[in-house]
A and B are shown apart, each in its own frame.
Chain A
Amino acid sequence: MSDADNHQLRVSKIRNGTVIDHLTAGQALNVLAILGIDGSSGDTVSVGMNVPSDRLGAKDILKVEGRELTAAEVDVLSLIAPDATINIVREYDVIDKHRVERTDEVTGVLTCPNPPCITNGDEPVRTRFQVLDAGVRCVYCGTIVHEDLATLINT
């Protein structure tokens, strides 16, 4: 066994749920925040951070028992972890495995960082962001955000 293997975080298999692999290193906790997973449900959640990866150098990995992702959740995931793969597990077997896909628009998940934007007023409107090559753009006020998208996630 190599040294890297010895020191790698090992996480046990899950029976039913989702394995989110190839997350951009450092994003695991943000992904848990988006998914609203805080361990309070009692289901097993395993978090691996900065795990050595051939493809990414270092990656984060999440194993979440008893939970599958909605389409909106996958959209946001594609913004902060564009290389992520999602594995759906049933009875210990991976029954579906796919990479996240880029979306054109993200609705209702991010908050616009521009205070005078109408979406920050007391209006019955959901935020909408157009997805650019690098970053996202508020459809209402035009503000572009390149970095720290995770800080804009509604909680």
Chain B
Amino acid sequence: MRTEHVITAKGFCRADIETVLDRAAALEAAETSAIDRHPDAVLALLFFEPSTRTRMSFDTAIKRLGGTSIEMGSVEGSSIAKGESLADTVRVVAGYADAIVLRHPSQGAAKMASEFVDVPVINAGDGAGHHPTQTLLDLYTIRKHVGLDDLTIGIMGDLKYGRTVHSLAIALTQFEATQHFISPESLAIPAGVRYDLEEAGASITDHRTLLDILPELDLLYVTRIQRERFPDESEYRAVAGEYGIDLDTLASAADHLRIMHPLPRVDEIDPAVDETDHAIYFEQAHNGIPVRMALLDQVL
């Protein structure tokens, strides 16, 4: 059997996505535990970059399926600090585990790792590249709260380095969503992702300000603009302020507008928005567990 890697959202077709989402829904609704699904499974969590929620949700997901996880501990005390290549690390770890979850600062790291091992490699973020499991939980959340058919979505913030955005935009082409990208010019969708979107025949439009398009949106996906993308604090403040939302911003939004965010947020969404029906970002975060359980259940 061919090893099933999860590297980018480009590998997902609509049927694959729906299979995982259906399985996630069944797991979420189940009254009985899934603890006997994979009692012998060992999942390796290789995180070369800090992560709280992605790592914890994979850890929880494998444990709820009855399996266990292994981690490499801090990079400082490990063989990586001694200069071991990623290729060597994954080849060794593949002997210990039934699947590898990898987060790494280099774009293409998961793709390369998958070429060296026979166990499934799941990309949990490769630099400014992709984050396909976040996309699955995003799609699950969209399907549950908004619906994936005839979706008009605005994606706002750092679209250049935002890997969750790259994977989401590509996956949404499978559902023929109308996509509006809202960002400063310096943080627009990169050429490589745009190429894939155009090749998939996506309906995409770029905007510099949210208010141009806000009234038409069913869903607004907000991402964090990071301080380190700007040469100085004042420029960052100005841009971050322009791409944040509060109750005043939402005055022209449709009542049915829903707002998502991959979290953590800094100040791009005012906490006052949390109390409105628009906010679904905490439900979104919770959906990481059933979706990652469904994905692991499929690849293990």
Contacts and interface: CB of A to CB of B under 8 A. Distances in A.
Interface string A111-122: 000101111111
A142 B129 contact: yes
A124 B106 contact: no
B85 A122 contact: yes
Given A116-B128, A123-B112, A144 B192 contact: yes
B41 interface: no
Interface string A133-155: 00001111111100000000000
B87 to A, nearest CB: 5
B107 A114 contact: yes
Interface string B93-128: 000000000001111110110010000000000111
B195 A137 contact: yes
Give the interface size bracket for B toward A.
Answer: 20 to 34
A118 B192 contact: no
Given A121-B86, A121-B106, A123-B87, A144 B112 contact: no
Nearest to A114: B107
B115 A118 contact: no
B195 A119 contact: no
A105 to B, nearest CB: 14
A119 B107 CA distance: 9
A139 B107 contact: no
A140 B112 contact: yes
A4 interface: no
Tell me the dominant secondary structure on chain B's binding face.
Answer: mixed
A141 B129 contact: yes
A138 B112 CA distance: 12
Nearest to B84: A122
Contact of A141 (B85, B107, B195, B196): B107
Nearest to B109: A118
A140 B111 contact: yes
Contacts of B196: 142
Contacts of A95: none
Contact of A118 (B83, B86, B193, B195): B86
B111 A118 contact: yes
B68 to A, nearest CB: 28
B191 interface: yes
Interface in B187-213: 190-193, 195-196
B127 A116 contact: yes
Contact of B108 (A118, A122, A144): A118
Nearest to A140: B108
A114 B195 CA distance: 17
Contacts of A121: 85-86, 106
Contacts of B105: 116
Contacts of B111: 118, 139-140
Interface of B: 83, 85-87, 104-109, 111-112, 115, 126-129, 190-193, 195-196
Ranked nearest first, the 3 interchain pairs of A and B with the lowest CB-CB distance are A140-B108, A142-B192, A141-B107
12 contacts: A116-B106, A116-B107, A118-B106, A118-B112, A118-B126, A121-B106, A122-B85, A123-B85, A125-B112, A137-B195, A141-B108, A142-B190
Given A118-B108, A125-B112, 4 more contacts: A118-B109, A118-B112, A122-B83, A140-B108
Interface of A: 114, 116-125, 132, 137-144
